[in-house]
Amino acid sequence: MHEHGLSLEAIYQARRRIADEAVRTPLVRSMALSTRFDADIRLKLETCQPTGAFKLRGAANMLAALIEARGREALAAGVVTASTGNHGRAVAYAAARLEVPAVICLSRLVPTNKVAAIEALGAEVRRIGASQDEAFAEVERLVRERGMILIPPFDDPRVVAGQGTIGLELMEDCPDLDRVIVGLSGGGLLGGIGAAVKAIRPACRVTGVSLTRGAAMWESLKAGHPVAVEEVESLADSLGGGIGCDNRCTFALVRKVMDDHVQVSERAIAEAMVELLENEKQLVEGAAAVGLAAMQEHGLDVRGQRVALILSGNAVSLETLDRARVMAGY
């Protein structure tokens, strides 16, 4: 194993497994942001994935790894997960490609546009409770009673390795990267990217960005162990949800690979969403805008640095975009 708990070999294996499912996404230089921050600012466009978000990498890797290890018949009863939306869509997509039944359990906080996208892929959607943790109770029942296979949204090494393939691409496209700024919720994205980047270029700084309210990983890191928090509505709904009080993988990994950690306000997220659309022509959800939000709200000093912002997904409704525009004063 790699010193940070996830081997580089596992991430390379993930890349091989998902080659036909997930795409290698562009890393594009933003002239406007580079000029404004006196730095080389790159945008990693995970919005270009077939499902519109990075989550496809982890879901596809875990499904492929299960089939590799146990055969296709292991998935005969189907797969199940709980999600804030993007992971559910990724599981539904990957399962449909394999002709495997899928049930996606979502809380009432998941926006209707994300629910519709999952249903369009042929998965069964169940709306359960007011948090991802409550939705997970239904997942556990289906695993227990119907023998379905859980595809966790983040807390599994195979899922994290899939997300880590982003880190490989960053290092290949910008080998002298100084800093990567990543949205942080359950820790699968940051943990995977951080493990890959630190293994290849230890000097590269990994910055995590959390919400100011309902940020389970922030509170857990502060407490020194996983804790539960109340989930609240946010423009960055993908960053909601708990990390699981029995977290086995991502809590420890995030602690090891993350160099610094900031929280961003709803207004800062709104302003970043609008700016990315106006100036970069990138339509992104709130969780994808938090890197820019952190740079603007906290005045992060990146002068002279090569910096990558992870634009993690594009599942934003017009209603949410309008709310962001109003909040940002447009």
d(CA 316, CA 202): 34
d(CA 173, CA 13): 19
Nearest to 262, CA basis, from 283, 307, 292: 292
Other CB atoms within 10 A of residue 117 CB: 19
Is 312 designated active site?
Answer: yes
The active-site residue, picked from 30, 44, 55, 238, is 55
- Beta pairing, strands 149-150 & 79-83: parallel
Backbone angles phi, psi at 262, to 5 degrees: -130, 160
Supply the DSSP string of 270-299, one letter for each residue.
HHHHHHHHHHH-----GGGGHHHHHHHHHT
Is 55 designated active site?
Answer: yes
- Beta pairing, strands 260-264 & 149-150: unpaired
Backbone angles phi, psi at 28, to 5 degrees: -110, 145
d(CA 167, CA 176): 13
Q: Is residue 231 helix, strand or coil?
A: coil
Integer CA distances (angstroms), 156 to 26, 163, 174, 200, 321, in order: 26, 11, 28, 22, 32
The active-site residue, picked from 210, 220, 238, 312, is 312
Integer CA distances (angstroms), 120 to 51, 125, 235, 285, in order: 11, 10, 23, 20
- The residues annotated with a catalytic role in the active site are 55, 312
